[in-house]
Structure 1
Amino acid sequence: MSKGTILVVGSNATQLEAKSGGTITIGQFLNETAVPLMAIEAAGYDFVLATPTGDKPHVDKDSDALLYFANDDAARTRARDFFNNAPAMNAVRSLRSVIDEGLDRYAGVFFPGGHAPVVDVMQDPDAGEVLRHFHAHNKPTAAICHGPMGILAALDKAREFRAALIAGDQAKARDLAKGWPYAGYRMTVFSRGEEEFAEDNVFKAKLFFNMPDALEAAGGKVITTAENFTSHVVVDRELITAQNPMSDHELAANFIAALDKRA
């Protein structure tokens, strides 16, 4: 018998705007999705995957790499098989349909990473409604790497906030962020240094904004490690955030502990 059901807020985005022009192909990160969800199932919970459109997220091709699985090919294969074949990963719902059925049944909510949430989830009104429910009921809310950008959807003017970031208007972004439920929370996200590495070595292109600046403009107290790509998790009240792909196991352990404590 399940100990409870977790809502997973995935992304449908596959292209991210580049400051230099054009777009960058993105998606959901394999390990940041599969590793926490496999741990959640092993701990006795089940989950429902929902996205803005109701379609299954795409895997970021760059995330299907041994580097994110401690060079363990068997672990990568398990994650790949889980993402592709697990029943819950293929019974995808729209966020709207989940909201309409009622959010009270969910014990917690999880936002996987990859750059994809920076495009759609962070400005999605249904994701914002989900977040406001979980915040109001003090239910565990977990996010990893770029997943914490999803919690910006709880802003009253999330779309305008994102547009201000793209325009480079930090003052306007801060003004639009007034009343954000997570203002004053300690949190982490993919760091400035880690983003610069991705821009220089993976994308070969610059982004319009980095993630710590965005969360700080909204009122978050962002804490990142001095050394890039080391596991780092920050817990503040119901919010559990993890900095990068190497934080997948630590994020899962903290999320499960919070779920068990509440249960």
Structure 2
Amino acid sequence: MSKGKVLVMGSNATRIEIQGGGTGPMGQYLNETVVPMLALVGAGYEVLLATPSGAKPYIDPASDAVQHFGGDEAAYLRGKDFFANDPSTNTGRTLQSVIKEGLDEYDGVFAPGGQGPVVDLMQDPDAGEILRHFHAAGKPTALLCHGPIVSISAMPRATEFRAALIQGDRVKAAELAKGWQYAGYKMTVYSATEEKPIEDNILHGKLYFNMPETLDLAGAETTVGTDFEPHVVVDRELITGQNPRSDHPIAAKLIEALDRASLAS
């Protein structure tokens, strides 16, 4: 018997803006998606992957490697098979359809990273509605790597906030962020120094904004740990992980929070 349901918000983005014009290729990270989902299933929870368009997320080729599974070939192949074939990742569900059916049936929400969420989920109104629901209900909310930037979508004017960042207008962005639901929350997110190798070697350009400064500008209290080492921060219902190697730890913290909420209800 299922212990509950967790909604996984995926990204449909495949390219991200870089300074000077143009875009660079990116997507969603495989391990960040499937490791927590598999852990949740193993702990007795149902999972459902939904995206803005209903199409499956584009997996960033940089993440499609055994190294992101601790060098464990069996874990890597199991993760690939789960993403390709499990019913939970192949429903074609949109975030809007999940909202219409009712968010009360979900006990938690999770958003993995890769840079995809920085393009679409960060400013997606449906993602914002979902996060506001879970925030108001105090239900476990886990955001991994670039995923914590999805919390920006809870702002009423998230699209304008993001546009102000790209325009370099930090004063306007700070003004637009007033009233953000997660102001004052302790968080972590992919660091600027972790981002640099991707900017140098994959994007061949700099992003318009980095993740920690953006969350701080919005009103969060952001800290980062050692680059490319696991780091998870828990504050109230919000659980954030810094990087791809935080996949197992954030899953464990999310399951702990879900189990506690289940016992309390």
| Fold conserved between structures, TM > 0.5 | yes
How many pairs does the alignment contain?
262
1:56-71 equivalent positions in 2, closer than 5 A: 56-71=56-71
- Show the counterpart of 1:211: 211
The CA deviation at 1:197 is 2.4
1:262 equivalenced with 2:243 (yes/no): no
Kindly provide the CA deviation profile for residues 36-65 of structure 1, in whole angstroms up to 9, marking residues without a partner as x.
Answer: 000000000001211111111110111012
SS of the residue 1:143 aligns to? strand
The CA deviation at 1:74 is 1.6
Amino acid at match of 1:214: T
Q: 2: distance between equivalents of 1:92 and 1:41? A: 19
Q: 1: distance between equivalents of 2:103 and 2:253? A: 22
SS of the residue 1:109 aligns to? strand
Kindly provide the CA deviation profile for residues 5-63 of structure 1, in whole angstroms up to 9, marking residues without a partner as x.
Answer: 10111111111111133211111100000000000000000012111111111101110
SS of the residue 2:239 aligns to? strand
Q: 2: distance between equivalents of 1:249 and 1:92? A: 26
- Residue pair 2:232, 2:242 contacting (<8 A) in 1 also: yes
Kindly provide the CA deviation profile for residues 133-192 of structure 1, in whole angstroms up to 9, marking residues without a partner as x.
Answer: 100000000010001111110001000000011111111111000000000000000001
- Residue pair 2:31, 2:79 contacting (<8 A) in 1 also: yes
- Show the counterpart of 1:220: 220
- Show the counterpart of 2:235: 236
- Show the counterpart of 1:101: 101
Q: 1: distance between equivalents of 2:116 and 2:2? A: 30
- Residue pair 1:48, 1:92 contacting (<8 A) in 2 also: no
- Residue pair 2:9, 2:49 contacting (<8 A) in 1 also: yes
Q: 2: distance between equivalents of 1:182 and 1:78? A: 35
Amino acid at match of 1:243: Q
Q: 1: distance between equivalents of 2:69 and 2:118? A: 24
- Residue pair 2:14, 2:116 contacting (<8 A) in 1 also: yes
Cα RMSD (Å): 0.9
- Show the counterpart of 2:24: 24
- Residue pair 2:25, 2:202 contacting (<8 A) in 1 also: no
Q: 1: distance between equivalents of 2:9 and 2:190? A: 18
- Residue pair 1:6, 1:108 contacting (<8 A) in 2 also: yes
Q: 1: distance between equivalents of 2:248 and 2:132? A: 26
Moved more, 240-249 or 50-59: 50-59
Amino acid at match of 1:246: R
Q: 2: distance between equivalents of 1:40 and 1:92? A: 20
Q: 2: distance between equivalents of 1:242 and 1:202? A: 23
- Residue pair 2:24, 2:202 contacting (<8 A) in 1 also: no
Amino acid at match of 1:32: E
1:43-192 equivalent positions in 2, closer than 5 A: 43-192=43-192
Unmatched runs of 5 consecutive residues or more in structure 2: none
Q: 1: distance between equivalents of 2:179 and 2:191? A: 24
- Show the counterpart of 2:246: 247
Amino acid at match of 1:200: D
- Residue pair 1:5, 1:47 contacting (<8 A) in 2 also: yes
The CA deviation at 1:238 is 0.1
Moved more, 71-80 or 209-218: 71-80
Moved runs in structure 1, 4+ residues, more than 3 A? none
Kindly provide the CA deviation profile for residues 89-108 of structure 1, in whole angstroms up to 9, marking residues without a partner as x.
Answer: 00131111111111100000
Query: What TM-score do the two structures reach when normalised by structure 2?
Result: 0.97
SS of the residue 1:104 aligns to? helix
SS of the residue 1:182 aligns to? coil
Q: 2: distance between equivalents of 1:126 and 1:85? A: 26
